[in-house]
Amino acid sequence: MTEKPFPPSFSSDPVEALLDEVATEPRPERIVEGNLRGQVAIVTGGSSGIGRAVALELAGCGVDIAFCYLDGPPEADAEAEAVARELKQLEVRVYKRGCDVRDSDDVNAFVRETLDALGRIHILVNNAGIGRDRALWRMTDEQWQAVLRTNLDGAFHFTRAVAPHMRAQEYGKIVNITSVHGIRSEFGIANYAASKAGLIGLTRSAAVELGPRNINVNAVAPGYIRTTRLTEGVPSEILDRARERSALGRLGDPQDVAGTVVFLCSEAARHITGVVIPVDGGYLL
């Protein structure tokens, strides 16, 4: 009996047959990071440190920037004005004002004002954060609540405020700036570690809830980063130990974090959501 040949579209090799089948599936469009141009981003805590670096990196990609900052310290307005000038030199539109991220009414107002000033919101970077380090048995209610309300409640307030707009347009990128200390804690930072661990939980929950409307929600977990207010008060011996513990043998810069944020906001990361990316030079290894 003569054996019948396989039809031209099939192969006697199961692997080749599977590859033939896969080859007929549509491919995603070629991804270009330049597609951020013309989008609008909100960056909280954008007047210094990581927030400033993120705002400038996004603006360098042609993204219009709305940023808020803690209005209170005498130097706050001057810092914010300096960042606004830097952003405008990159030929993007800018909206800024002091905003208390702990106050949901103030956050809602800031989001409405951003829509009025810049038209839409495509990106949210929840960066605003503080630390109040102390052994937990000496930690006051105020120290606990100030950190949780700023670092965790603030991100929740902004995420909730932008969600209806992003859901309506069926597009959005949300990046939360958590910390390696939300993954592995150290002595004296119970409030900070709890807030950043909570932010990881918020990231994953928001990714599940907002994903069906094409909204990516991810987190970046910096290690010890130079030139930020959170590391200004850290003793030099702790920074030295962190440097030695890092696989790369160095501390990070705000730009290291900013580059990862921009990647997560680009279409290069369109199929990434609910993840936490450490930017720590191998500190957690």
Annotated catalytic sites, by residue? Answer: 192
Cα–Cα distance for residue pair 128/177, rounded to 1 Å:
8
Could you give the 3-state DSSP secondary structure of residue 65?
strand
In angstroms, what CA-CA distances link 212 with 107, 166, 206, 267, 276? Answer: 25, 11, 11, 17, 20
Q: Tally Cβ neighbours within 10 Å of residue 236.
A: 7
Cα–Cα distance for residue pair 110/189, rounded to 1 Å:
30
CB neighbour list of residue 34: distance below 8 Å, 6 or more residues apart:
61, 62
| Residue linked to tokens 């033939």 | 20
List, as one string, the DSSP characters of 170-190: T-EEEEEE--GGGTS--TT-H
Determine contact, residues 268/31, Cβ cutoff 8 Å: yes
Q: Tally Cβ neighbours within 10 Å of residue 9.
A: 9
List, as one string, the DSSP characters of 10-26: --SSHHHHHHHHHHTSP
Q: Which residues pair with 66 in a beta bridge?
A: 42, 95
Characterize 19-46 residue by residue with b for buried, 16 or more Cβ atoms within 10 angstroms of its Cβ, and e for exposed. eeeeeeeeeeeeeeeeebeebbbbbbbb
